[in-house]
Structure 1
Amino acid sequence: MAKRKLIGCVALLLLCFLVAGCWDRRELQDRNFVLAVAIDMADDGLKLGIDPKEALKVREEETFVQPDGRKRYRLSLQLLKFSSGEAGKDEAKTYAISNTGESFFEMVRDMLGQSSKSLWFEHLQVIIISEAVLRQTGLAEIVDFFKRDSEMRSRIKVYVTPGTARSLIEYQPPSKEAGGMFLADLIRLHSRNNHIAGARTDLGYTVQYLDLRSNVLLPRIEIADKVVKLGGSAVFKKDKFIGYVDGYAIAGLKFMYGTEESAIVATECPDHPGHQMAFELFRDDTKLIPHVEGDTIYFTVDINMYGNLGEIQGDISQDDTLDPQYIHRLEIAFAEEIKQNVLYADRVFRKEMQVDTISRFAGKLKAYEPETWAKVQDQWDEIYPMIPIIISVNVTIQKVGSHK
């Protein structure tokens, strides 16, 4: 019996030698790490800012023989550039390669003809899609390859640009960090910036909303004269792009849904016309509730905000920020500004675009009034723009800063 145990232990030890180690190990320098993806129309490959003949030559070199379909898209990849410690401080950390075709998978594989190493997507940070592409096809078709490939991660950021997407992945940040990392990090503090639609806009949530046939919001990104800026949002009805909304509409939407964590609200000071004051939000309690009375459906939005008096402009030498009556006048002014902001967002999304953003109102009605939802769900797109919404806002200034 003891002999059998000894033989078994030796066999297990020998087996460990056979399976030990990383059988698929590859050194970092043997991979090309893809940090960003840009998707444009194929014709955008001619807009390179160089001689048209040279641009056409570049485009021809990028492409491949495609027996079926037509060359629709230009896919560009931003690759991380490994450099020695002796490289100059101003040297670019990344470079871009492109290909034209219709199947994204086929384009990626053909790009191996431009790369001396395998393309590695597990560190992909951001996907940027041009408006021109989205006006030609649906969002679901564009992200299909990225949702199926096992190397893709759910937290990849997805942006929409009205310009050329490749120009954004060619951008060299003044911070000298890798471009894909910089572009992805732009949205990290979206909860503190009212004007950016950043919550639940990464690849995982985008695919989830598309699978549920919900509407989608994606951050809008632009570049102008070496300045990159996130602001506003691209709006999709199901997977069809229908337009953009500005940052003020996004701010109102965040107030309505209670998705902001730390926001700044600026408005005119009631005691100093022509001068601004600012309120810094610390905490909020927002309730969006559906109500059904007979055949009538309506929603109430109750917003309670608590925060700090962050700034007052104008001659305030005679003002006493410790006076409760003075503070109350400011609270009323801030509450009115927030209410007008919410009404603006409601008009833009519900009246003009007729879009229930990320199906929030439909979800609330389904949760609170399932029987009513069962009756109206097939006509929701027609009913939703006509439903009354009652908005109430209360602001409480708890602090006035470190100086009264």
Structure 2
Amino acid sequence: MVKKAIFIVTVCFCLSGCWDTVDLQDMQYITAIAIDYNEKEKQFEIHGQSINFGNLSVNSAEGQNGNANAWVGISRGETVLSALSNLVPRTNQQLNWGHVHAIVYSQTALAHNPLIEMNEGLYRFQQVRMTPWVFGTTENLTEVLMVTNIFGDSIHTELFNPQAVFHERSFIEPITLHELMREYPEAGRSVKLPNLSILEKNWKSNQGETNTSLFADGAFVIKGGKEPILFSDEQLIGLRWLNHATVNAPLVLKENENTIAALNIVRPIATVTSELDGDIPAFRIRIDANADIEDFPPDPSLGASKTINELKALSEETIKQEVKRTFLLGIEQGKDIYDLENVFYRQHVQSYNTMRDSFTLDENTPLSIEVTIKIEHTGEYEFYRDRVPESEQRR
């Protein structure tokens, strides 16, 4: 009898092991959040995106169209944490925040509160991880969270997979919440928060339907408690050459406003060093990279308009001018885009500590830029036009 009783108790104990589980369909998952600040109400606004993952299944009839059925809910609070909490009673199901993969800050929120204070609530909200991608935007937050790709899928967009586009066209490097909070308080370092824009009716189907898309367009440059400033891709064009994460970056070569060639710069390697020129910090930037010729418009009369060595020299000068131009544009707005102050701080700690309060960068700051480009691939035709007159090419 004793053994039988022990067996029954053991079986009952095993059967009750999953009593507190929750089925997936009984939960609502927040996949992205956006943070705004309402100046009139003096409250933060949280826009939470929820997606029906069931419709992503390739086995379901609806899922074959990739329709993720995105919904966006809005809640308010005096702090970010209270706004997050206030979204809970606005749903009919238990909320799960463990799948948040993107966070978007409005320009108003960035200007109102320092990132440290805003993200304090996110750090205390234990379900939100430190790995989501982070963005800034000037667009309507609900519209940003409602954008889908051409197949109606909310998951496979710039919001959730920015690295896919960055690897093909490297301009502004995507960053995560953890990286943002690591770089933000460091001495002399500015955060480049990618800016998301909406491109209206960018795609059109054979049935006349149109679709909007998200794309990264420039970045908010944020340093300390100073007001963030939004720079366009064109204004930040020199930043990509100093970014170690750059994979492929297009370079258009022009002469007298005419396009000479289009190159693809592959994985540039930048080295930045600093020294004291008397009492003035001086900097030296060296960039080495390989390049492929992507396009090479012909000369009107005879084949190629430039030799390899001429293209090499022109590409080196173009990159040099882009780096210089972006540096000066940042200085005009009071932003150290290349984090030169941080470079000096790391390489000359004692000197930096003596001039921390007086450290400045301006248009007269000594800045030496050296660029070396190696053209590895000229294309399938190997400068065929160099050897064949146009009259022969048209036969």
- TM interval, shorter chain, is 0.7 to 0.9
* Unmatched runs of 5 consecutive residues or more in structure 1: 1-9, 45-69
User: Does the alignment pair 1:169 with 2:145?
Assistant: yes
Where does 1:227-246 land on structure 2 (aligned, <5 Å)?
Answer: 227-246=213-232
Correspondent of 1:218 among 169, 182, 193: 193
CA distance in 1: counterparts of 2:348 and 2:83, whole angstroms? 48
Correspondent of 1:292 among 253, 261, 276: 276
- Secondary structure of the residue that 1:387 maps to in structure 2? coil
Moved more, 312-321 or 32-41: 312-321
CA distance in 2: counterparts of 1:269 and 1:231, whole angstroms? 26
The alpha carbon displacement at 1:290 in A equals 0.4
TM-score (norm: length of structure 1): 0.78
CA distance in 1: counterparts of 2:114 and 2:62, whole angstroms? 43
Match of 1:394 in 2: 372
* Unmatched runs of 5 consecutive residues or more in structure 2: 1-5, 201-211, 383-395
CA distance in 1: counterparts of 2:67 and 2:99, whole angstroms? 21
User: Does the alignment pair 1:336 with 2:320?
Assistant: no
The alpha carbon displacement at 1:23 in A equals 6.9
Correspondent of 1:372 among 351, 365, 385: 351
The alpha carbon displacement at 1:115 in A equals 1.3
Match of 2:234 in 1: 248
User: What one-letter code is carried by the residue in structure 2 that aligns with 1:28?
Assistant: L
CA distance in 2: counterparts of 1:309 and 1:116, whole angstroms? 57
Match of 1:60 in 2: none
**Which digits, 9 at most, give the CA deviation of each residue in 1:181-236, with x for residues without a partner?**
652213443244243x225x210011112343642110011124223221100111
CA distance in 1: counterparts of 2:232 and 2:312, whole angstroms? 26
Correspondent of 1:107 among 64, 83, 107: 83
Match of 1:129 in 2: 105
Query: For the Cα contact (< 8 Å) 2:241–2:323, is it kept in 1?
Result: yes
CA distance in 2: counterparts of 1:374 and 1:99, whole angstroms? 45
User: Does the alignment pair 1:209 with 2:183?
Assistant: yes
The alpha carbon displacement at 1:29 in A equals 1.0
Match of 2:119 in 1: 143
User: Is the alpha carbon distance of 1:320 and 1:170 closer, same or farther for their aligned partners in structure 2, counting shifts above 3 Å?
Assistant: closer
Match of 1:38 in 2: 34
Query: For the Cα contact (< 8 Å) 1:38–1:128, is it kept in 2?
Result: yes
Correspondent of 2:161 among 154, 174, 185: 185
User: Is the alpha carbon distance of 1:328 and 1:30 closer, same or farther for their aligned partners in structure 2, counting shifts above 3 Å?
Assistant: same
**Which digits, 9 at most, give the CA deviation of each residue in 1:289-314, with x for residues without a partner?**
10224323200111122121121123
Moved more, 312-321 or 132-141: 312-321
The alpha carbon displacement at 1:124 in A equals 0.5
User: What one-letter code is carried by the residue in structure 2 that aligns with 1:392?
Assistant: E
TM-score (norm: length of structure 2): 0.80
User: Is the alpha carbon distance of 1:310 and 1:269 closer, same or farther for their aligned partners in structure 2, counting shifts above 3 Å?
Assistant: farther
Number of matched pairs: 360
User: What is the CA RMSD across the aligned residues, in angstroms?
Assistant: 3.3
User: Is the alpha carbon distance of 1:309 and 1:137 closer, same or farther for their aligned partners in structure 2, counting shifts above 3 Å?
Assistant: same
CA distance in 2: counterparts of 1:230 and 1:326, whole angstroms? 35
User: Is the alpha carbon distance of 1:21 and 1:401 closer, same or farther for their aligned partners in structure 2, counting shifts above 3 Å?
Assistant: farther
- Secondary structure of the residue that 1:189 maps to in structure 2? helix
Report % sequence identity: 19
User: What one-letter code is carried by the residue in structure 2 that aligns with 1:115?
Assistant: T
**Which digits, 9 at most, give the CA deviation of each residue in 1:24-55, with x for residues without a partner?**
532211221111112233479xxxxxxxxxxx
The alpha carbon displacement at 1:18 in A equals 6.6
Q: Which has the higher helix share?
A: 1
Moved more, 31-40 or 107-116: 107-116
Query: For the Cα contact (< 8 Å) 1:216–1:235, is it kept in 2?
Result: yes
Correspondent of 1:352 among 302, 314, 332: 332
